[in-house]
Every structure is written in structure tokens, then in C-alpha cells.
Structure 1
């Protein structure tokens, strides 16, 4: 079995389910030990068990990515329990669906705090270690909504545009330190978030499942949704490439072109 990440240590925030889980398992399959971080305790433990089933070590950390002190503790835990930190994946994210006229300041702040500020704080917590060892990989999970706005998702789009810009800027800051920084921009993936969107955007008389199928067929040129495993394969690519940095790559079946 090819193990390009053998004995490397990864942290995946938002790793309990969905895209984060897919990335955690892909990194483990490529040979990495994984600290799975999330607020959701039951799926957190289950994902860690799945990592161990692949023959890799796993640790779990309940963490709120809006709290700097918790993220600093998360990094210390990865170093103490798994022996280091080589790969940081920031996948923790939230979404809500409101028009700008309905959007409250609290709603705006919550989405921005988790998606944008959380990415910043997590990177800031990991950077002292990565800079000291003069190598590392940072992979941020943005969205195609970080390159193109969508109605009733202005705050979500703003947060993901911020992640794309932050990724590019940080990549340039640390480029001479052996650290790469890239972003994955998922398209339509069947996760909790997209179940909510399918429900919100269903036509009269349409079920959530029918709405989901319609969105796949009408929005994606390939006619099929993307998967957490797709995102995991791109994460492994970013984790193994020395000279790819500052990029935000869409995995969306041709939905967008930039």
C-alpha cells in the first residue's frame, strides 16, 4: 500500500463528519496519524475509530474553533500524543440561509467567526511549531461560494471569500519557510449543509430528496454530486506537493470555472 504520508501527523478540524471525516480518512489511508477535532463528541469518537481501523494512530479533541486558547491546546495535544504536527486541515464550518434584509448582526458574526476567524486562529496556533521545524502543510476548506456569490448566502459567501484570500496571503508569508498553504473549494456535496439547502430551495410539492436530485442534475455539468472522498484525495495531493501553494482549487464537477 502506497503511504506517501507515512508517520506524518495531521490535525483535521471539523473532522467528525462530512467533508472533514472524508479528509481525515484519506490522510490516514495515505499513512498519516490524525488528531480529529470537532464539537460533536459521538461522531468524533467514531471517526477516530475509523482512522485506527486503517492502521494509524488517532486522537480526539473537542474544540471550539472560535476560541484561540482551545486551538492552542489542540496543537499541543497533537504534539504530545502523536509526536508532532505536519499537516493542518481547517474544515470546521457553519452555514445559515437568510437574505441580507433578514440577516441579523448575530447571524453574520457567527458564520464569520467560525468559518473565517476560526481558520485564522487555527493557523495562528499551528504556525509557531511549523515555522520552528521549517516545514508543513496547511489546507483550508473554503467553497465555490468563496469565488461566486449565491443568493441568501451572502454571509457564508463572504466568509469563504475571506478564507480564499487568507489562504493566498498566508501562503506568500510562509513560502520561504517550507510551508505550503492551499484551499479546497467543494462544490455540491451531500452533507448536513446541503440537506439544509435542498430543503430551503425545494419547489412546491417537492421532497428534500427530489430537490437534492434536481440540484445535482441541473447545476453540475457532470450530473453527479461530489463526495467527501473527492475532497480527501485533493487534500492528500496538497499534503504531498512541495511546489503547489497559494491555490484554491474547485472540486465541483464543472459547476464553476474560476
Structure 2
């Protein structure tokens, strides 16, 4: 799959899925600008990947839910890479609360981290891609946004919003050569879910038709497909589901 020389901006790059996508892109020939709010973890990721490919990995730590920070992110990525061919929005947050116990602040935090951040990044990057006449935008949603889950009404609403947003943006951006798609993973073996209740985590893998959760590297392949040519050239407004069979549309 050809992404040799492509310039990729990846948010949430210190997380399990973001890091796996960054590593696969780098090994497939891309140049990277990586972003995460966790500066220490991001430094570790950039250091490890830069050791593999000196001069092809850069990045900065910031909060992608903040409008001014996103503008700084895009400016820095442009300066570093000379343009942006691929945007992957892999940042996010999760919590677990019954709706009657959920404060508005928690609702807004989860919506902001998972939906506002996608809107801000896409809005900032799209003009660049339109001027180039080409680009790929890949949002990371979730199977919970497709099927729902108790105690995750806020997260489900946010991720369903990401899917709907991606479909609408795909129609808006396609005439300019920009292809927008989403990836909706199922359970993935990362630290993202570490603060969820034990009863939620227990038995999750066994309930999946495949019988196990995914490794981050197994999600990254979908992101490579959607960024590559010619393999990803006719994917538009799609939601790919590497979810161990949890959702079968």
C-alpha cells in the first residue's frame, strides 16, 4: 500500500491505537507529526520512532479540544512537514456513569474530547488539503457509537457523532479530492479502558464472536488501507469495523 513520502498528522499519538498507526505509517514510508496532551508519553513515542527513522518524526504536546491549540498544531505540522496529506484523529476519552448520576460537566468533557476535537482538527486541516487538491481524513470512532452500551450514553453519543460527522464531511470534501472515512474499533488491548469498572471489563472478550479483543496493531492496518493508494482510493464516507465481530452491519 503506497504512502511513501505522505505527510501524516496524527492526534492521540501517545495512545495505543495512535501509536500503532504512527509506527505502521512510518514503516510504510510516511513522514509524521504526532500530537498528544500527555507530553511525557508523547516524547517516548517520538523518541522511539525517530530512532527508527531519523528526520521523519516530529510533534508537539497540546490539548486538541482547545481551538487555539489546534490552530497552533496545524501551523506547526505544516512548518515541519511542508503540507498535510493525511489526518488521523485518534485522541479521545472515556468514563462510565449511569445517566441519572452523570453531571453535565462529565457529559461535556466526553463530548469535547471525542467529538469537538475531531471537528476542530478537520476544520483546520481541510483548507490545506483542498488547496493541495488531495488528502485523506481518518477519524477514529467506536463500535459503541454504532450499538450503544449501558453507562456509556455520553461516549456512545460522541462516537455516533463522529460517524455522522465523517459521512457528512465526506460528501462535502470529496469534490476537492479529500476522502474522509472512519474506523470504529471494538475492544482493544490498550490502557484506554483502565479506569472502567471491573464488571464491565470482565467477560468482554469472551462475549465477542471472535473470542478476543484486538491488539492496537490490528487496528492500524485499517488506517493504512484508508491512507494508501490505490487500495484506499474509492473508500468514501465508510465506517470500517475491526471489532472482533461485536457489530455486524
TM-score (norm 2): 0.94
The count of corresponding residues between Structure 1 and Structure 2 is 245
Correspondence 1:74-85 to 2 at 5 A = 74-85=73-84
Instruction: Say whether 1:230 aligns with 2:230.
Output: no
Question: CA contact under 8 A between 1:41 and 1:62: conserved in structure 2?
Answer: yes
Instruction: Say whether 1:215 aligns with 2:214.
Output: no
Which residue of 22, 25, 28 corresponds with 1:24? 22
Q: Within 1, Cα distance between the matches of 2:48 and 2:178? A: 28
Which residue of 54, 59, 64 corresponds with 2:52? 54
Counterpart of 1:41?
Answer: 39
Deviation per residue, 1:188-238 (Å, 9 max, x gap): 111223333352526xxxxxxxx2xx3212x21111211111111100000
Instruction: Say whether 1:247 aligns with 2:235.
Output: no
Correspondence 1:38-187 to 2 at 5 A = 38-55=36-53, 57-187=56-186
Offset of residue 99 of structure 1 = 0.5
Offset of residue 26 of structure 1 = 1.2
Deviation per residue, 1:10-45 (Å, 9 max, x gap): 111000121111111111111111111001111101
Which residue of 6, 21, 44 corresponds with 2:4? 6
Offset of residue 255 of structure 1 = 1.2
Question: CA contact under 8 A between 2:141 and 2:185: conserved in structure 1?
Answer: yes
> Structure 1 regions of 5+ residues with no counterpart?
203-210
